[in-house]
Amino acid sequence: MPEAMQAHVELPTGSLKVSLRRADWPLHELCGFAARHNPKRGFLFVSKVLGKHWPCKPSVMRAAHVALAAKLAAPGDAPALFIGLAETATGLGQGVFEQYLERFGPGSALYVQTTRYPLSGAEMLPFLERHSHAQNLRLHVPEREDWAGLFKRARLLVLVDDELSTGDTYLSLIAAYSARNPALEEIAAVSLCNFMDEPGQARFREQLALLDAAGVPPRRVSFPALVEGQFTFSANPDFQAPPPPAAQADMNCRRAYNSGASARLGSDASLEVPESLVAGLVRTLPRDEPVLVLGSGEFMHPAFVLGAALEDAGLEIRVQSTTRSPVLVGASIGSRLSLPDLYGEGIPNALYNFKAEDYGAVLLCHESPGDGNDSSLATSLQLLGARSVGFNGGLAA
């Protein structure tokens, strides 16, 4: 089998083997591999086009968005509902959604990202990502009346995640959502990498059929992806690691940390950043060195949009995001920088594969509330040598 279609990597947690049966992109260009600091799952597919654990050019990220959106059907007689999964795929989901709007026009789709932060007062549909370090996720019903109506009558549901292996998280989300929308007809289970083999897809369809109410026609399901294949993982029985850090806190209200640039409560249009902000940054950022535009946690898409605008203006840009995902250094993870939590929960955050000397400047895109005097934000800016771009209470760089 060609090298572009397979991989075998030895991790401290075990041995991972991957083989592809179809590939739009070479595997080594799409992802690397690492060991999770997580007893539930010992491996991680490190996407190189996601802008999360690996810095990526916005143009490459956009190409992935375009390629996935091209695999999706037209919305039919009601707008499609796109849902991006937190935290890793919130930006990917919104990017694919925006390319879908490019294809089919305004009004063709609504986007909502899932979140680990409950928003007080909003109607919430909880579901589980059982293998995750932080398994409790939430889907909020949009509060705008017209968006809430679209949310509850979509015929096409487009779920977006970076990789698909068992489909259990999708099934948990579909169960939560379909209880509010029994008229749902079609599901597109989108991923960059689909590692669900044919028996796994058959199992997914069987489980999906069990969710259907009596008299409801079977829901069609497809699995659009840039690569399809399967993997095996043989755990190392001798591996022992200290317990991973806490990943979730019991917080009842996150309203103050939800900016207007977030899609936790929905979006029906492409996100834009002010031309004046882009122009001001172009005047002051270096042109002879790369610039890192950094998102914070699941607040990923604004960093991509800003980074893409700066790249289009001629700057050399990389986009990435901090994360609560605990990963061991090694394989495709060259380094880990510990950062304070910008959401007031005290949960450790990390930035992987970051070297300050690689960049002429760093921009930290965040939604910290207030006037920006939060000590966690100040500490993060200092550790990164970064400039602040706040999306909560007015944009400023």
Per-residue pLDDT for 250 more than 70? no
Give the pLDDT band of residue 135 (cuts 50, 70, 90): low
Query: In the listed set 212, 235, 258, which residue is the last one of a domain according to the structure?
Result: 235
pTM (whole model) above 0.75 = yes
**Does 179 lie in the same domain as 129?**
yes
pLDDT, tens digit, 9 for 90 and up, residues 146-199: 999 999 999 999 999 999 998 988 998 998 898 889 889 999 999 999 999 888
Residue 186 lies in a domain: yes
pLDDT value at residue 247: 62
Q: Are both 302 and 377 inside the same structural domain?
A: yes
**Do 302 and 216 fall into the same domain?**
no
Instruction: Determine the pLDDT at residue 180.
Output: 87
Segment among 67-81, 139-153, 298-312, 335-349 with least mean pLDDT: 335-349
Using pLDDT thresholds of 50, 70 and 90, give the confidence band for residue 362.
Answer: very high
The confidence band for 128, taking pLDDT boundaries of 50, 70 and 90, is low
Residue 15: predicted pLDDT: 96
**Would the pLDDT of 92 be above 90?**
yes
- pLDDT, residue 136, reads 75
pLDDT(105) > 60:
yes
Query: For residue 253, is pLDDT > 60?
Result: yes
* 121 and 190 inside one domain: yes
Longest dimension (CA), the chain: 63
Identify whether residues 15 and 120 lie together within a single domain: yes
Q: What is the pLDDT of residues 111-123, one digit of tens each?
A: 999 998 889 889 9
Residue 130 predicted with pLDDT over 50: no
Looking at residue 125, its pLDDT comes to 92
Q: Are residues 204 and 308 in the same domain?
A: no
Query: Is 142 domain-assigned?
Result: yes
Q: Mean pLDDT throughout 228-241?
A: 91
Q: How confident is the model at residue 104 (pLDDT cuts 50, 70, 90)?
A: very high
Q: Residue 141 pLDDT > 80, yes or no?
A: yes
Q: What is the CATH number of the domain that holds 343?
A: 3.40.50
- Residue 243 placed within a domain: no
Q: Same domain, yes or no, for 295 and 227?
A: no
Count up the domains in the chain and report the number.
2
What pLDDT sits at residue 37? 85
Structure tokens, 211: 């969710």
Calculate mean pLDDT across residues 275-298: 96
pLDDT of residue 66: 98
User: In this structure, are 226 and 295 located in the same domain?
Assistant: no
Residue 396 lies in a domain: no
Q: Tell me what the mean pLDDT of segment 357-371 comes to.
A: 90
pLDDT for position 251: 60
- 202 in the same domain as 127: yes
Q: How far apart are CA 64 and CA 319, in angstroms?
A: 14
The distance of Cα 301 from the centroid of its chain, to the nearest Å, equals: 9
Q: Is the pLDDT of residue 75 over 80?
A: yes
Task: Answer with the one of 235, 259, 279 that is the final residue of a domain.
Answer: 235
pLDDT at 131 over 50: no
Same domain assignment for residues 212 and 311: no
Please check whether residue 264 lies inside any domain of the structure: no
Is 255 contained in some domain? no
Q: Tell me, yes or no, whether 276 and 229 share the same domain.
A: no
Residue-wise pLDDT for 318-347, tens only, equals 999 999 989 999 999 999 999 999 988 888
What is the average per-residue pLDDT within 59-67?
A: 98
Domain coverage including residue 164: 3-235
My answer on whether 277 and 354 are in the same domain is yes
pLDDT at 249: 65
* 206: CATH: 3.40.50.2020
Identify whether 251 is part of a domain.
Answer: no
End-to-end CA distance of the chain: 49
End residue of a domain, out of 235, 257, 289: 235
Reply yes or no on whether the pLDDT at 234 is more than 70: yes
> Does the pLDDT value for residue 132 go beyond 50?
no
Is 122 inside a domain boundary?
Answer: yes
